[in-house]
């Protein structure tokens, strides 16, 4: 059985071993999986917010923001020999319905857009996604097979 690594909110993990990376409680947050299957390298980040510009302590909050989390993960994976990185993402739900939705309240949409933008800027193809909606998710990435298992509240299980 592969080791299970739990990633909390605003955290990230990188592994060189066969593992299962899991994060729960993805509401408006986005789970980002970046991996090189041929080299056995995998990572997951539980991104809370789109942009680190609002951070007072960027170094301590790398995993919290789409821009810093993705840049750090890509840098570390490439330093470990990654050549063919790919990404899968899930989450970014609109958890709260407001009568007058202000742009700042649309965190899920903004997180998805920022994650996709950072993947494009770093040259990493997005090979699968399950984003949006109004329900929370738990995701599990199985590094050996490259499967991302997504359990969505009130919807069921999907594999991408």
| Segment 29-86, tens digit of pLDDT | 999 999 999 999 999 999 999 999 876 766 668 999 999 999 999 999 999 999 999 9
Task: Give me the pLDDT at residue 104, please.
Answer: 61
CATH 3.30.1330.200 fits 3-159, yes or no: yes
- Residue from 10, 13, 29, 45 carrying the catalytic annotation: 29
Query: Using alpha carbons only, what angle is made at residue 20 by residues 49 and 65, rounded to the nearest 5 degrees?
Result: 10
Taking the complete model, does pTM exceed 0.85, yes or no? yes
Give the start-to-end residue ranges of the domains of the chain.
3-159
Does the annotation count 121 as an active-site position? no
Query: Using alpha carbons only, what angle is made at residue 86 by residues 103 and 71, rounded to the nearest 5 degrees?
Result: 55
The 8-class DSSP code of residue 50 comes to S
Residue 152 to residue 91: CA distance in whole angstroms: 9
């Amino acid at each position: 059985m592969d080791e299970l690594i739990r990633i909390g909110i605003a955290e990230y993990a990188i592994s060189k071993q066969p593992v299962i990376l899991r994060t729960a409680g993805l509401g408006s947050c986005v789970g980002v999986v970046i991996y090189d299957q041929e080299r056995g390298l995998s990572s997951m980040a539980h991104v809370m917010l789109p942009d680190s510009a609002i951070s007072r302590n960027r170094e301590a909050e790398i995993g919290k923001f789409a821009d810093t989390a993705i840049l750090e993960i890509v840098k570390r994976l490439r330093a470990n020999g990654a050549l063919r990185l790919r990404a899968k993402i899930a989450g970014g739900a609109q958890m709260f319905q407001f009568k007058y939705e202000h742009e700042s309240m649309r965190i899920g949409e903004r997180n998805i857009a920022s994650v996709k933008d950072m993947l494009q800027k770093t040259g990493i193809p997005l090979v699968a996604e399950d984003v949006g909606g109004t329900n929370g998710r738990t995701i599990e990435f199985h590094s050996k097979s490259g499967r991302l298992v997504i359990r969505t509240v009130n919807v069921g299980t999907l594999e991408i």
